[in-house]
Structure formats: C-alpha cells, structure tokens
C-alpha cells in the first residue's frame, strides 16, 4: 500500500467528517420536537432523489449483487440514523460526535473478532483508552436515552464500516448507496406511518440539506475504506470531533467542559498515534524501493 494512497484516504476522511458535522448541525437546528422517523424517511427519499441523476453508474446486469449485505447494512443504518437524530437533538453537538466517533475503536475490535486482523499493542491500548474516554464523557450520572442513542450510532457505524469489506469489489459507490437506501425504504415508511406526524416545509428543507452532506460523507468513507485497511486511516475519523467542537461553538454557543476534553483526549490521542505509525509503515516500502539498486 503506497503512502500516496494512504494520504489520499486520510484527506477524504477529513473532508468527509467536516461534511458530516454540517449534516449534524442541520439536524440539531430542528429542535427536539421534530418527528424522528418522519425526518428519517424524508431524508431517505431526498437521498434517493439526489442519487437518481447518477443512475447510469448502476450495473443493471448485476443489479442485486450483494443484496444480503445491503439488507443488513440498510437496517443497521436505519437504526443508527434514528438514534443519531435523537442524540443530536438532546446532546451538545460535540458530545454527541465524541460518542459517534467511538465507531473506529469498535471497528478495530470487530476487525479482530470477525476478520482475524491483528491487534497491535498500541491498538489494544487505544481500544481500552477509548472506552475509558467514553465513560469519562458520559459519566454514569448522565447516562440516559440520549447517551445510549449516541452509543447506538457508534455501533451501527462500526458494523456498516466492517461490512464494506463484504460488498462486491467492482460495485460502484452510487450502486451501493442506491441499493442500501432502497432497502431502507419499507421499514422507514412503516415507522413514519406509525409515528403519525405530518411533514412541513422546514422539515423537508432540513432533510434535503442533511441528505446532501451525509451523502457526500458516505461517498468519501466508501472510497477511503476500499482503498486502504481500516486500521491505517481510523485516526482521520477523529478530525470530525474537532469540526464538531467548532460547529457547536459557532452555531449553538456550546463550550466543551473538562469532562468532555479529558474523555476526548483519551479517545483521540492513541488513535492519532496509530495513524502515525501506520502512515510511516505504509511509506516504508516506497522509501526502500527508492534506494534499492
């Protein structure tokens, strides 16, 4: 794996996480009274509409390739996005994102459990430190539905990231995203009907804005994790936490407290160390090749 490829993947994740925070801010601007399942359904429909101009990139000869994995990712994602709306509407933007970004830690754990990837001593320290950081941020006295929802988002993100490795290799990003969102549609419709809320123009506009930015994020993640192994670039995911702190301060006047800062340091620093080690390791063959006779 070349250092240039790793650099490109890291840059994609940095940009993608900034776009994801914009989507989060749009959701949070709705307020806690917004109907969760209706918003999820409208955002889902907006995403499908945004993908339609790119439908020529869908392989119609293998339209349902990997459908079992897509169905799993779709319903895991539906749970995750519903939890996300709850968490963003009830927690500070940075706090919610700090818990969302427990996903890369879970990716490392799941990589070992399901794909038999090697967990280095540094990765093990990062996983333990990350979980301690989550506890520090949450604090047992503040554990509630909002915090549990944020943790649910992290689990759904990590599962979907791991399942990317099971997708058909030659399937385009547009094909993958369109299938996943179409698979979500029946369950999302049932939940929205059960909720019984009616759409408003503000909800539709917010859903469209959120759909656009999160679609861009999904594309960057799909590209990055298809180019390189997950443990080489997970540290770049945590730049989203910095974007969330800035977004929370700029849009909502939120200032992180000492608990948040301490927990975030426990989560982020070991992963940055892993990223630096993997980055150097990826460059090593290139440097050796350049000096070989």
CA-CA-CA-CA torsion sign (4, 9, 13, 16)? positive
Torsion of CA 203, 204, 209, 211, to 10 degrees: 110
- For residue 155 the two structure tokens come to 């689990």
Q: What is the DSSP letter of 228?
A: S
Q: Going by C-beta distance under 8 Å and a sequence separation of 6 or more, which residues neighbour residue 172?
A: 57, 58, 59
- For residue 271 the two structure tokens come to 């992963």
The pTM for the full model equals 0.79
Q: Whole-angstrom distance between the N-terminal and C-terminal Cα of the chain?
A: 21
Q: How far apart are CA 145 and CA 59, in angstroms?
A: 41
CB half-sphere exposure, 54, CA atoms < 13 A: 16
Q: For the chain, 293 residues long, give each residue's pLDDT as a single digit of tens.
A: 455 566 777 788 888 888 989 999 999 988 878 899 999 999 999 999 999 998 898 988 888 888 999 999 999 999 999 999 999 988 888 888 888 877 777 887 777 777 777 777 877 787 788 878 877 887 754 567 778 888 899 899 888 888 887 888 888 888 988 999 999 999 999 999 999 999 999 999 999 999 999 888 878 877 776 666 655 565 666 677 788 888 888 888 888 888 888 888 887 787 677 767 766 665 555 444 333 33
Smallest CA-to-CA distance from 158 within 215, 118, 99, 244 is with: 99
Helix (H, G, I), strand (E, B) or coil at 292: coil
**In this structure, how many other beta carbons lie within 10 angstroms of the beta carbon of residue 280?**
11
């Amino acid at each position: 794996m070349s250092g240039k490829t790793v650099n490109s993947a890291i840059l994609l994740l940095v940009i993608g996480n900034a776009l994801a925070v914009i989507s989060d801010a749009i959701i949070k601007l709705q307020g806690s009274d917004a109907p969760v399942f209706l918003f999820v359904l409208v955002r889902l429909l907006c995403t499908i509409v945004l993908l339609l101009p790119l439908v020529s990139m869908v392989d119609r000869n293998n339209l349902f390739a990997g459908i079992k994995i897509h169905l799993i990712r779709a319903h895991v994602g539906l749970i995750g996005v519903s939890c996300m709306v709850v968490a963003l509407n009830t927690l500070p933007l940075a706090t919610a994102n700090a818990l969302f970004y427990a996903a890369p830690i879970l990716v490392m754990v799941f990589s070992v459990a399901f794909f038999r990837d090697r967990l280095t001593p540094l990765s093990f320290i990062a996983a333990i430190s990350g979980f301690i950081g989550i506890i520090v941020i949450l604090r047992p006295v503040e554990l509630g539905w909002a915090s549990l929802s944020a943790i649910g988002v992290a689990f759904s993100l990590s599962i979907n990231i791991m399942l990317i490795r099971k997708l058909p290799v030659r399937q385009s990003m547009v094909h993958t995203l369109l299938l996943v969102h179409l698979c979500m549609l029946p369950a999302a419709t049932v939940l929205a009907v059960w909720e019984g809320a009616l759409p408003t123009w503000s909800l539709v506009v917010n859903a469209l804005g959120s759909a656009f930015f999160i679609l861009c994020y999904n594309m960057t993640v799909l590209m990055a994790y298809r180019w390189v192994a997950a443990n080489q670039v997970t540290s770049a995911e945590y730049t989203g936490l910095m974007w969330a702190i800035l977004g929370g301060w700029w849009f909502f006047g939120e200032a992180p407290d000492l608990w948040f800062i301490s927990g975030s340091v426990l989560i982020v620093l070991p992963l940055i160390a892993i990223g630096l080690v993997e980055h150097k390791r990826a460059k090593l063959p290139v440097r050796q090749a350049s000096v070989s006779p």
